[in-house]
A and B are shown apart, each in its own frame.
Chain A
Amino acid sequence: MQQDKKRLLIIGIGMVALLVVITFLYAYGVINNEETTFGGVLPILIPLIIVVFMVFFIAKRYKDVKEGMPLEDERSKKVVTNAAAKAFQFSLYWLLAISIFEPFFAGVLFNSETLDAGQTVGGGIAGMALFFFAFWIYYNKKSELV
């Protein structure tokens, strides 16, 4: 249990530190760039949303661990495994969609004709993270877990 507490504290502090560094670096870039687009704000917006959710999630888990509950058990492990598998499968379709509709995404998000490598990879990772989050919620409510 002590180890679980330590693990959670390290993850929590790490996430907050990451958030501060990303916010600082990105704010510095946005302030110095007058041509910031909606897509340009996404790299900070998505991690910000994820980190805020994670902080609440970790705080809840920390309270549980403090009360003597384990950090994870066989059910929570199955939920994570199933969510990760589905997120991987759906992220393949997502990457395919990005490559097919590249002009659309580039135009709407970045006011350009094509996406560069960083934008494509970033979009892929953000999509995978969102799929994982959505499937984690789904499998956490679902009764039959394989």
Chain B
Amino acid sequence: MKTRIKEFRAKLNMTQEDLAKKTGVRRETIVFLEQGKYNPSLNLAYKVAKALKTSIDKLFVFDA
């Protein structure tokens, strides 16, 4: 899985910490999400998409 979280975050001048606080998770979780190393729950994916003012399908790109 690839994500465009970093790209959207940069557009909004948001740090990983800011995004973590907005979505209620730890900063490490955002790091893993950005690297595509963690499959979030639908709930978290929605929260991240909402914080980055976009939609889930634009944020997460599935290879398979």
Contact = CB atoms under 8 A, between A and B. Distances in A.
A69 B26 CA distance: 6
28 contacts: A64-B26, A64-B27, A68-B21, A69-B21, A69-B26, A70-B24, A70-B25, A70-B26, A73-B25, A73-B26, A74-B41, A74-B43, A74-B44, A75-B25, A75-B26, A75-B28, A75-B29, A75-B38, A76-B26, A76-B28, A76-B29, A143-B32, A143-B35, A143-B36, A143-B37, A144-B39, A145-B38, A145-B39
Nearest to A142: B37
Contacts of B24: 70, 73
B17 interface: yes
B41 to A, nearest CB: 6
A73 B30 CA distance: 11
A122 B35 CA distance: 41
Interface size class of B (residues with CB under 8 A): 10 to 19
Nearest to A67: B17
A72 B26 CA distance: 7
Lowest 10 CB-CB distances: which A-B pairs, in order? A143-B37, A73-B25, A75-B29, A73-B26, A69-B26, A68-B21, A73-B29, A74-B41, A70-B24, A75-B38
Nearest to A78: B38
Interface string A107-146: 0000000000000000000000000000000000001110
Nearest to B35: A143
A131 B24 CA distance: 30
Contacts of B41: 74
Contacts of B56: none
B51 interface: no
B31 to A, nearest CB: 10
Contacts of A144: 39
Interface in B21-62: 21, 24-29, 32, 35-41, 43-44
Given A67-B17, A69-B20, A143-B32, A74 B25 contact: yes
Contact of A74 (B17, B20, B40): B40
